Amino acid sequence: MEKFTLHKGLVAPMDRDNVDTDAIIPKQFLKSIKRSGFGPNLFDEWRYLDAGEPGQDPATRKPNPDFVLNQPRYQGASVLLARSNFGCGSSREHAPWALEQYGFRVIIAPSFADIFFNNCFKNGVLPIQLPESVVAKLFDEVAAFPGYQLTVDLPRQVVILADGSEVPFEVQAFRKFCLLNGFDDIGLTLRHADKIRSYEAERLAAKPWLNNRLR
């Protein structure tokens, strides 16, 4: 997982409450047995005018010109500004996969669904919960100023606005540690790889018959 320390990026506004995970990545794309390639199908039913299926070439699709991510001013956005209860619905981990693979590193909203919120941290995406009044102000600024960017300083736990002012945010210490170091669940375990190998070697030395069962 990519480390997260300081990120500056273009902001795209998702001006809808209760955006659920089926909207973030529709159910037909969950058929894939891979953990990659979901970025082109992020918000698929809103992003395209034709029905999407796994394996389609995005270049053959009909993009919806009215959808925010298809508008030229938001191309290359890496910060998603959202409304309340973002990521509600089913618990599919494919939702943060799709967001991260599209290019989003940060999601800012007044509130998130719990499971989606937790899954973001496990996949290198930083969900930031800010007061609704602050989020509303950010929506106004994004609309008023094309190319609007924000800087997120995770070590200091602040969002730096375009005018240089700072808005603090909360993040649980362990989640912050994992993001700063690029540790997903597997990465956390692999920190102890030497101890695991040593334990396995000692166990097989003491109980050699186990070796036959492991083959």
Q: Which domains does the chain have, with CATH numbers?
A: 6-183 (3.20.19.10), 184-215 (no CATH)
**CA–CA distance, 57 with 78 (Å, rounded to integer):** 23
pLDDT for residue 186: 65
Tokens for 140, please give them. 């106004």
pLDDT for residue 183: 86
Give the H/E segment covering residue 85.
none
- DSSP string computed for 13-41: EE--SS-BHHHHS-GGGGG-SSSS--GGG
pLDDT for residue 53: 87
In whole numbers, what is the pLDDT of the chain averaged over residues? Answer: 91
Name the residue among 182, 116, 129 with its Cα closest to residue 157. Answer: 129
In the DSSP assignment, the letter for residue 59 is: G
Check: pTM over 0.85? Answer yes or no. yes
CA angle 126, 58, 127 (to 5 degrees): 10
Can you list the positions of beta strands (E) in the chain?
A: 6-14, 79-82, 106-109, 126-129, 149-153, 158-160, 166-168
pLDDT for residue 166: 98
**CA–CA distance, 193 with 117 (Å, rounded to integer):** 28
**CA–CA distance, 24 with 86 (Å, rounded to integer):** 10
- Cβ-based neighbour number of residue 123 at 10 Å: 19
Asked if residues 141 and 108 have their Cβ atoms less than 8 Å apart, the reply is: no
Ranges of residues in the chain whose predicted pLDDT is under 50? 214
pLDDT for residue 210: 65
Asked if residues 83 and 20 have their Cβ atoms less than 8 Å apart, the reply is: no
